[in-house]
Amino acid sequence: MNAFPTPDSVLPHRAPFLFVDRITELVVGQSAVGHWKLRGDEWFFSGHFPGRPTLPGVLMCEAIAQVGAYIVLSDEKFVGKLPLFGGLDAARFRRQVGPGDELILTVNMTRMSSRAGKGSGQALLNGEIACECELMFVLVDA
């Protein structure tokens, strides 16, 4: 049984743009591990690419960012706030991800203030890096 609140009870994202299925580790304000199981019927696979469905790299970055948002919004200091992308640096895509794959999403916050923050994350596929990036975000009123 998962001891952490479901992503849809913490994050403002909803289908079809909620990519995190569950959180299995959390240190509030610091780090988390999330999971995203790709079923194959996701909206982007039909056009990216016909005959070779591939998860767009930018959506891996978004999934990493959603785990980062989960970290932030799990902290009582940020109730009523909404973390928005402020930037994305050093994004690298190293493995193709497709239907049936499960990504393990790890995020560590490197800086937090009352108005903004930074973090770094990875999407792992079978223990190997599929994507890694650095995230910057700003906090606004929800």
Strand partners, 121: 107, 133
Q: In what order do the strands lie in the sheet with 22-27?
A: 22-27, 31-37, 102-112, 116-125, 128-141, 81-93
Provide Rg for the chain, Cα atoms: 15
123 vs 141: CA distance, rounded Å: 29
Do residues 21 and 37 lie in contact, with contact meaning Cβ atoms separated by under 8 Å?
Answer: yes
Active-site residue set: 48
Report the SS3 class of residue 57: helix
